[in-house]
């Protein structure tokens, strides 16, 4: 019988001391450490990136839709191979999720060709997932979004640090949504980040 853990934390006294320092500051959800994390994350992603820490990637995805006024009657194309949060947040704002298929058995990321097939006059946004840390075909997907005037949201829950042609994933679309859950490659236990280069969206 296989015994594969969902996650295997390797925390030590460094994390314990960091948590105790935050607890003693009495700033549990905002404050200096949160601001420092946002600033350093922005710097890591590259020039002119704004970052806002949130409670989860789900919250980031929800905020991305709200910030772009996605609402009842709209359609949002999403990667079919994803976590249920992508469908849930689309339904939460009253819009309709439309699943686009993966490219192949060898490339599990969303197919740009299938995205094109799913676009209708009601389509307002695309949520792509860089599955398992592998970047999607962003040149083609960005062209599709731009030519159809669609909001492009990157779900980067699996892909902190991944790059596409020298650019960090999460900075190629209009908004990037990150997860820092305990089984991710960068973890704060819980948490997420929403990032954008658009000052008005920020």
Domain boundaries, the chain: 32-196
Give the span between the Cα atoms of 106 and 48, in whole angstroms: 35
In the numeric block, which tokens belong to residue 149? 């005037």
As separate numbers, helices (DSSP H) first and strands (DSSP E) second, the chain gives 6, 9
Q: Which residues are catalytic?
A: 184
Is the pLDDT score of 7 beyond 80?
no
Is the pLDDT score of 2 beyond 80?
no
Q: Residues of the chain with pLDDT > 90: what percent?
A: 83
Given a contact cutoff of 8 angstroms between Cβ atoms, the answer to whether 75 and 123 are in contact is yes
Is the pLDDT score of 8 beyond 90?
no
Q: Specify the pLDDT at position 160.
A: 95
Summarize pLDDT for 144-159 with one digit per residue, the tens: 999 999 999 999 999 9
Summarize pLDDT for 73-127 with one digit per residue, the tens: 999 999 999 999 999 999 999 999 999 999 999 999 999 999 999 999 999 999 9
Is the CATH number of domain 32-196 3.40.640.10?
Answer: yes
Is the pLDDT score of 174 beyond 80?
yes
In the numeric block, which tokens belong to residue 179? 């997860």
Secondary structure (DSSP) of 4-57: --S------HHHHHHHHHHHHHT-SSSSHHHHHHHHHHHHHH-TT-EEEEES-H
Largest CA-CA distance found in the chain, in angstroms, rounded: 55
Mean pLDDT score of the chain: 94
Residue scoring higher pLDDT (189 or 71): 71
């Amino acid at each position: 019988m296989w015994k594969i853990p969902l996650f295997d934390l390797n925390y030590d006294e460094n994390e314990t001391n960091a948590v105790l320092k935050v607890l003693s500051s009495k700033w549990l959800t905002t404050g200096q450490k949160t601001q420092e994390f946002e600033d350093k994350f922005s710097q890591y992603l590259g020039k002119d990136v704004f970052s806002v820490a949130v409670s989860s990637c789900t919250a980031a995805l929800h905020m991305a839709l709200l910030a772009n006024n996605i609402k009842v009657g709209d359609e949002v194309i999403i990667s079919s191979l994803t976590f249920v949060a992508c469908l849930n947040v689309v339904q939460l704002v009253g819009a309709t999720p439309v699943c686009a298929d993966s490219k192949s058995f060898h490339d599990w990321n969303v197919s740009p060709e299938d995205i094109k097939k799913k676009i209708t006059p009601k389509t307002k946004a695309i949520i792509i997932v860089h599955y398992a840390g592998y970047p999607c075909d962003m040149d083609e997907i960005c062209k599709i979004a731009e030519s159809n005037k669609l909001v492009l949201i990157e779900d980067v829950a699996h892909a902190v640090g991944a790059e596409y042609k020298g650019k960090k994933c999460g900075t190629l679309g209009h908004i990037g949504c990150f997860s820092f859950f305990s089984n991710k490659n960068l973890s704060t236990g819980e948490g997420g980040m929403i990032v954008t280069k658009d000052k008005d969206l920020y």
